[in-house]
Amino acid sequence: MTISIITDSEASQHLLPETGGHPLGYYIRLTGTTEVSGIKVSEPDPSFAILEASLSPPFFGASIVEKGIEISEGISLSIHEGNPETIWDMKIRGGAKELLGISDQLKISIAYQYSPSDQQEPITLSASSHSGKREFYLHPAKGGGQVHLYTANIDLLPDTLSITAFDPGFTLESIQIAPISFAPEEEPLPIPADFGAILGYDPGFWRNERYELFSWNLFPKILVMDTKDYEVQSNFFHRLAFFVEKRGYAGFLHSDETIENQHSWNAHDYRAEDLARFYQKAAIENFPLDDEEMELFQILLANDIINIKDNLILPGDGGILSISQSSDAYLRNLFLTHEGYHGVYFGSADFREGVQRIWEEMAPVEQEFWRVFLDWRGYNADDPYLVVNEFQAYLLQQPVERVEAYYWDYTIPRMLRFRPESQEIIDILMAEYPETFLRYAENLENLVFGLFGIHPGKNLTLEVKK
């Protein structure tokens, strides 16, 4: 069957695929036209019927819907339902190059539904072309969601995308490919991305040579700024760190001269409430902020992390995290995992309430250990919100099976070398609560997995298959 699209310039002909007797949504790309005046089908067949025709926004890919499959011209989708695996195999006729046009990148978006089952094996995602193949593990979030891959992640233009699932709880909803232009002069809106995509995003594709801005696909109101180096990161966040978290400095704005030789952090996290409080205090005191701090202010405003109302700077939703290219691959992963759990804490009231219940189950000496530990690390341990937030992030930043070694074998001996006066509380903890770290890490794991389907040490959805 051939269908002709009649436009204001000319009629274009398109071959319709067979449907196998089932309804099929078929998207035909329109180019170089402003008006469609009709459609015409050649040689009508009794078995053929147009059920619906309409104009819609651009779509290139495949969707699995209640009434069947929707695909775009140039796409074929095959679904192999075997035992035990299901394979979705999408082929792109002529490859994806024709989509790119004048754009900088392609964006591959995968939408899915997921109900955790006993067979929680990672899903395999592969993108391939004549120039190579890139493979990823997809660790689906509970309930489902959407993940994105960019040219900056896969470094090829795919002609085949395949998803293989051994987990019966996973269902693919759609795969879409779109050209994306990230010109530097455009409004710096964040790029939707999973932590795995952020960690593997080629800086050569950054819109700004100093940093790139992302939004976390699991919590879109949590922004992530990846910076060129620690110096750039410090220009944005150094004063904030002292204002929000630093022992002996928190709550006050400090001049560059006061804090310039003091180390803050190599990774950062700030919630909307503290960001608004920082900028409001600077406004009230007429405190001179640096250019990057004002640039951050505009980013936060543009993304409704903070708002201005009646000349007051007020919190919106979410927050911002930051890592740096100065950190090696191991530390970038560790830092983003740790900061990510702060993002979960900022973004979910259910998670905050659950963490608070776990904190309140602890004996006073267990709680006191965390205050001592955080004070040693330079945090303002008199801030209850900060203490509980750091408690969960430090326990969830590594897999549960590593948590006891991290504290008993590495962290505590190191702390005692610098803080020998902490020996008494460590002795009590070791004698009376030797499983404190394992117990509460397991409790937190049950909480975060029950809410979101993510695990300690791995709050990313995409992971490069090695």
| Per-residue pLDDT at 172 exceeds 80 | yes
pLDDT tens per residue, range 96-145: 677 766 567 889 999 999 988 776 677 999 999 888 999 999 999 889 99
Angle between helix 423-432 and helix 364-376 axes, rounded to 10 deg: 140
Contact 27, 52 (CB under 8 A): no
- The Cα 104–Cα 82 span in angstroms is 38
Does residue 164 contact residue 123 with C-beta atoms inside 8 Å? yes
Class of the CATH domain delimited by 58-181: mainly beta
User: Which residue pairs, CB below 8 angstroms and at least 24 apart, start in 17-23?
Assistant: 17/71, 17/76, 19/68, 22/68, 22/69, 23/51, 23/67, 23/68
Assess whether pLDDT exceeds 90 at residue 37. no
- Integer angstrom CA distances of residue 286 from 250, 258, 270, 298, 313: 18, 18, 22, 17, 14
- C-alpha to C-alpha distances, 121 to 118, 254, 389, 442, nearest whole angstrom: 9, 50, 30, 20
Q: What local confidence, expressed as pLDDT, does residue 211 receive? A: 96
Measured at the CA of 409, the angle between CA 405 and CA 414, to 5 degrees, comes to 130
- The two structure tokens encoding residue 284: 């009230």
What confidence tens digit (pLDDT) does each residue in 400-440 have?
999 999 999 999 999 999 999 999 999 999 999 999 999 99
Q: Which residues make Cβ contacts (< 8 Å) with residue 419, sequence separation at least 6?
A: 372, 376
Q: Which residue has the tokens 């503290």?
A: 274
Q: What's the burial of 269, exposed, middle or buried (CB within 10 Å: 0-12/13-18/19+)?
A: buried
What does the pLDDT read at residue 128? 93
Q: Which residues pair with 6 in a beta bridge?
A: 11, 38
10 burial type by CB count under 10 A (0-12 exposed, 13-18 middle, 19+ buried): exposed
pLDDT of residue 243: 98
Domain boundaries, the chain: 1-56, 58-181, 224-334, 356-464
> Which of these ranges, 11-15, 140-144, 241-245, 369-373, has the smallest mean pLDDT?
11-15
> What is the predicted pLDDT for the residue at 167?
87
In this prediction the pTM is: 0.92
- Amino acid letter at 316? G
Share of the chain above pLDDT 70, in %: 95
